Amino acid sequence: MSTTGSESQTVKFRGSEELVLVADEWNQGSSGPSVLMLHGGGQNRFSWKNTGQVLADEGFHVIALDSRGHGDSDRSPDGNYTVDALCSTTASVSAHSASTRWLWWSRSGGR
């Protein structure tokens, strides 16, 4: 994979329940594989800023997402933060891209 020098751009996606999700995106439209980076509880997309840049410099299309209720993304108006709701919202982001090759990269504080 060729290297590039992409800077991130702040983007918005429409998630499930019409929530607005905010993310940093590198190499939009890249033909390389896409990586969706998910933060752990109590974190936000900035947890992935350095890693996202490293992957982008290697040619990956990268999205570091603020999940619903985190960072700059909308809060659920009815407090719906179930696993199903979080998964549905997250899956909607990959549907906005033409990429057919995705790696979901997550981080939790667990052991």
CATH code of the domain containing 26: 3.40.50.1820
111, part of any domain:
no
77, part of any domain:
yes
Question: Which amino acid is present at 65?
Answer: L
21, part of any domain:
yes
94, part of any domain:
yes
Indicate whether 4 pLDDT > 80. Answer: no
Determine the Cα–Cα distance for residues 49 and 107; give it in Å rounded to an integer: 13
Average pLDDT, the chain: 85
Q: Work out the pLDDT band at 110, boundaries 50, 70, 90.
A: very low
Q: Work out the pLDDT band at 53, boundaries 50, 70, 90.
A: very high
Q: What percent of the chain stands above pLDDT 70?
A: 86
2, part of any domain:
no
1, part of any domain:
no
Q: What percent of the chain stands above pLDDT 90?
A: 51
Query: Which residues span the domain enclosing 26?
Result: 9-106
Query: Could you give the C-alpha distances from 105 to 24, 76, 80, in angstroms and in order?
Result: 14, 23, 23
pTM of the model: 0.85
For the chain, how many structural domains are there in total? 1
14, part of any domain:
yes
Determine the Cα–Cα distance for residues 77 and 90; give it in Å rounded to an integer: 17
